[in-house]
């Protein structure tokens, strides 16, 4: 754990004094929003983040435990979501970039540099950005952003599970599991499904 933390922290030290990390959660699911987060960490509080890692490598329980810890270690952070209807009106990449751009513009502290997880940069003039593939496994601030985005989205999907019972949103969070497919076969689509996604299209009436 300590070795991983040191590696993540060292990666960020190669960048500017005020560094922001940006990541998203929810590009693949058949339902719900895509969520992005931007994080600027407080250098004096990095020692509280030794358990941090790419959110995909952490259990749901650990991510939940880390959520408030990450927020407490931030100089500034922002979480933004784009709804399924907005995804359908454009495409998932455009929606993801819009969420990331909104996060950056919403930061209360302007960063000197920005690390964007992935290989595409959002349209955010005035920000010095770099796309880093697997950034959430390389950079501490991107890993922090990945946890905020993932936990925030999971919480949204658990609330949707109460509004639209029977789909199993609390368990699969909208991803294309067999449970989800069986629910679609039985119940059809609900208002949070992404109608532009091929696996959902076949359940549209007509």
Q: Is the Cβ–Cβ distance between 115 and 132 less than 8 Å?
A: yes
Could you tell me the pTM of the whole model? 0.96
Report residue 133 as tokens.
Answer: 């593939």
Kind and range of the H or E element at 154?
A: helix 140-163
The mean pLDDT value of the chain amounts to 96
Report residue 110 as tokens.
Answer: 């302007």
pLDDT tens digit sequence for 104-136: 999 999 999 999 999 999 999 999 999 999 999
Q: Is the Cβ–Cβ distance between 23 and 147 less than 8 Å?
A: no
For the 2-163 domain, the top CATH level (class) is alpha beta
C-alpha angle with apex 174: 65 to 8, nearest 5 degrees? 40
pLDDT at position 12 is 97
Determine if residue 157 is left, alpha or beta; phi over 0 gives left, psi from -120 to 50 gives alpha, anything else beta. alpha
Kind and range of the H or E element at 22?
A: strand 19-25
Return d(Cα 49, Cα 12) in angstroms, integer.
Answer: 14
Burial of 130 by CB count in 10 Å (0-12 exposed, 13-18 middle, 19+ buried)? exposed
Predicted confidence (pLDDT) at residue 16 exceeds the cutoff of 80 = no
pLDDT at position 206 is 46
Whole-angstrom CA distances from 10 to 6, 90, 204 are 6, 38, 49
pLDDT at position 151 is 98
pLDDT tens digit sequence for 41-63: 999 999 999 999 999 999 999 99
Q: Is the Cβ–Cβ distance between 183 and 76 less than 8 Å?
A: no
| Ranges of each domain in the chain | 2-163
């Amino acid at each position: 754990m300590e070795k991983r933390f040191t590696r993540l922290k060292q990666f960020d030290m190669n960048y500017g004094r005020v560094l922001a990390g940006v990541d998203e959660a929810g590009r693949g699911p058949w339902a719900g929003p895509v969520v992005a987060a931007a994080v600027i960490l407080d250098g004096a509080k990095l020692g509280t983040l030794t358990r941090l890692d790419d959110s995909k490598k952490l259990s749901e329980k650990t991510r939940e435990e880390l959520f408030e810890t990450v927020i407490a270690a931030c100089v500034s952070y922002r979480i933004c979501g784009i709804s399924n209807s907005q995804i359908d009106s454009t495409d998932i990449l455009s929606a993801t970039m819009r969420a990331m751009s909104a996060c950056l513009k919403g930061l209360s502290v302007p960063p000197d540099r920005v690390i964007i997880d992935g290989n595409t940069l959002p349209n955010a003039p005035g920000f010095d950005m770099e796309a880093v593939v697997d950034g959430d496994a390389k950079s501490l601030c991107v890993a922090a952003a990945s946890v905020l985005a993932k936990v925030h989205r999971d919480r949204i999907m658990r609330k949707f599970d109460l509004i639209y019972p029977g789909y199993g949103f609390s368990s699969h969070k909208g991803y294309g599991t067999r449970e989800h497919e069986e629910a679609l076969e039985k119940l059809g689509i609900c208002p949070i499904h992404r109608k532009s996604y091929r696996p959902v299209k076949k359940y549209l009436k007509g």
